[in-house]
Amino acid sequence: MRVDAVTLFPAMIDSPLSESIVGRARTEGFLELGFANPRDFTEDRHRTVDDKPYGGGTGMVMMAEPVYRALKQLRKKGSFVILLTPKGRRFDQSVALELSKKKHLVFICGHYEGIDERVTPLADLELSIGDYVLTGGEPAAVAVIDAVTRLIPGVLRKSDATVNETFTDGLLEAPHYTRPAVWRGKTVPPELVSGNHKLIAAWRSKLAAELTGKARPDLKPPQQVKKKSRGKAAH
């Protein structure tokens, strides 16, 4: 998979995605990661990418033209462009699964107070990772790319590693235990040490349902990600 990001701060994405499983995926060729900095597409000597918002207000807004030019360089036929924004669809495991099937993802990362709204129609999907404010879209891009990369076939060593895990079936995953069997007076559930695979599966299914109902009753069955039709904005 190829993933690119339009960002003013490439290192905020590149550095954390150079470690662990995602770092190995890059080394082994499962993931190619690239960047386009809007500052490289400006024409003034100050490389200006932001300006004061119309109508007044605090902060600065990223200008549309540098972002547009950066995106134009990255976008190819078949690219799927994602604008990271608080008003976007909530990111979850079902979205990660759908995105993992794409050949080329392009993330647009805002900063400061955000990006000129006229950039929005250039995206195929507006995406949010939660109801809180970050310094920019870069940390959100890291979270999404990490979640998507581990779902690419071959990235995880065990082929079934992503089958029975949290959110895959709209449920939280059952609790996990490891050695020792008794730790500070607390024992591992007998079902898990029984050696009976059917009993273990039944226990995990039961606990997953109970845990989800108690901790996350809001969880819903996975939905499909659909590519929205873009407006008449220039490409």
Q: What is the distance between the alpha carbons of residues 96 and 225, in angstroms, rounded to a whole number?
A: 9
pLDDT tens figures, 90-141: 999 999 999 999 999 999 999 999 999 999 999 999 999 999 999 999 999 9
Tell me, what DSSP letter sits at residue 134? -
Tokens of 97: 């699964």
pTM of the shown model: 0.85
Q: Which fold has domain 2-149?
A: Alpha/beta knot (3.40.1280)
Confidence of residue 233 (pLDDT cuts 50, 70, 90): very low
User: In which element (H, E) is residue 61 found?
Assistant: strand 61-62
Beta strands in 31-153 (DSSP E): 32-36, 50-51, 61-62, 80-90, 104-109, 125-128
Q: What is the distance between the alpha carbons of residues 194 and 77, in angstroms, rounded to a whole number?
A: 53
Q: Is the pLDDT of residue 226 over 70?
A: no
Tracing tokens 């929205």 back to the chain, one arrives at 228
